[in-house]
Chain A
Amino acid sequence: MFLFVFVVSCSSDDDGTMELTGTGMVKIEFDNSMAGDDLLLSTSSYTNSQSETLTVSRLNYIVSNFRLTDEDGNVFTYPKDSGYFITSEETGNTEVVLSDVPAGRYTSMTFGIGVDQEKYLQGAEGQGEFLTEAEETNMMWSWQAGYKFLNFEGTFTSATVTDATDFKIHMGSHGSSLNNYKETTLALGTEALVSDDLSPIIHLVVDASAILDGTNKISLTEQAVIMVSEEKSPKIAVNASNMFSVDHVHNGDGSSH
Chain B
Amino acid sequence: MKNRINISRDDVKKYYLKQSEMINSGEELSPEIIAEEGYDPDQLRTEGLSLIESLRKRTEPKEYYQISWDIILKKVVKAGISKNLIENKVIPNSLLQQLNGNKAVETKQRAIDYLISVFGLNRKQLLESESISLSTIPSQLAYYKKPTNANLNQIKAYSHYAQFIAKTSSKACHNLPYNDYPEDIDEFREMLIEKHGEISLEALLDTIWNLGICVVPLTDSGVFHGASWNIDGRHVIILKQKTDSHAKWIFDLLHELYHVFAHLNEDNTSVIEETELSPVASNDSEEELEANSFANQFIFNSSAEILAKECVTRAGNKTERLKQAVIDTANDIGIRVDFLANYLAFRLQHDGTNWWGTANSLQVKDPSPVEVTRRFLTKNLDFKILNQIESNMLSMAIN
A in complex with B:
no
